Amino acid sequence: MLKNGKKYKSDEEFFARFKIFQSNLKIIEEKNAKYNPTTFYAVNKFADLSKQEFKEMYLMNNLPPYRPNGEVLYTNITAPTTWDWRTKGACTPVKDQGQCGSCWAFSATENIESVHQIAKQQLPVLAPQQIVDCDKQDYGCSGGWPYVAFGYVTNAKGQDTESTYPYTARDGSCKFKIANVAAVINGYKSIPKVETQIQSLLTSTAPFSVCVDAEEWSFYSGGVVTPDQCGKSVDHCVQMVGYDLTKSPSYYIVRNSWGTDWGMSGFIYLQTGSDTCLVADYVTSAVSA
C-alpha cells in the first residue's frame, strides 16, 4: 500500500483487497517456482486486483474484426544478431495508459513517434488521447487495432502532441486541432507472420506496433517469457523495439504502456522463434508522409 500509494475507503475494502493480495502472492510464488530462473514474477501495483479486474482495467475487452489491408512488407536482408532502437534515439520514454484499455492507441502512437524520428530526425511526444477520442472505427478505452488508428491519423492529416492534447485515461469528445499536428503519416504496412522477416524488417523499418496476449503479464518483473507462459487470445498492444538472438533463450525487447514501475522499467522480454504471446501475429507499422 505504501509503495504504490494505495488507499482504501473502508475496512471492508481493505480486507477484501488484502484477501486478493494473499491469493496473488500464491500465484506469484507458483509462477516463480515453475519458471525461475528464466522468468521472474513479483508483487507490484496490480497485486491487489483480481484477474478479472486486471483484464477489465488494463486489457482490451472489445475488438473490431481484424482486417488489415495495408501492403505486406518483405525483405531479403539477413537480420543482425542484436538490435535495439532505444540506443538509436528512436523511442520516446515509457508511457502509462492508466485504467483504460487504450493500449492500441499507445502502440500506434509510439510507432508513429519512432517512424517520424527515423524519417525526419525529430522525436515528438504525441497524443494517444487524440486517437482514443477521435478514431470512431475503434472502441476507445474498450479496445481497438493500431492499423485502424494509422488509418485515422492518415485521414486526419496528422497527430497532435501530448502537451496540446493531454492524456486523460478515459473516453472523451474529439478536440483535435490540425494546427497542433507534430507528425504526419501516409498509411501503414503489415509485417508477415514470419519471425525471421519480422527481425530483419524491424532493423530496416522502425520499432513495430504489435498486439499480443498479455493476460499473464500482470506480475512480470524480469527475465524472458517463454511460450508456455501465455495464451493465444489477443488482448493488448505494445511496441517491439529490438531483439537479442545471442542469448539463451533469445528474446524480443517489448515496450509496454503500464509505466516504468512495471516489469523491467516498463519493458518485457518475449522469447523468439515460437510466436510467444502472439508476438508475430499482429505486426504493423505506419509509413511516414
Active site amino acids: 103, 236, 256
Grid coordinates given for 285:
507499422
Quote the CA–CA distance of 50 and 47 in Å, as a whole number: 8
DSSP per-residue letters across 102-149: -HHHHHHHHHHHHHHHHHHS----B-HHHHHHH-TTS-GGG---HHHH
Of 140, 213, 243, 129, give the one whose Cα is nearest residue 177. 129
Contact indicator for 194, 280 with CB cutoff of 8 Å = yes
C-alpha cell at 12: 471492508
CA angle 187, 206, 288 (to 5 degrees): 35
Half-sphere exposure of 14 (CA within 13 A, CB side): 6
Chain center to CA of 167: 16
Q: Which amino acid is at 87?
A: T
Burial class (CB in 10 A: 0-12, 13-18, 19+), 139: buried
Which residues are within 8 A (CB) of 197 and not within 5 positions of it... i.e. 6 or more apart? 73, 74, 75, 191
**DSSP assignment of 178-232:** GGGEEE-EEEEEE--S-HHHHHHHHHHS-SEEEEE--TT-TTEEEEEE-GGGS-S
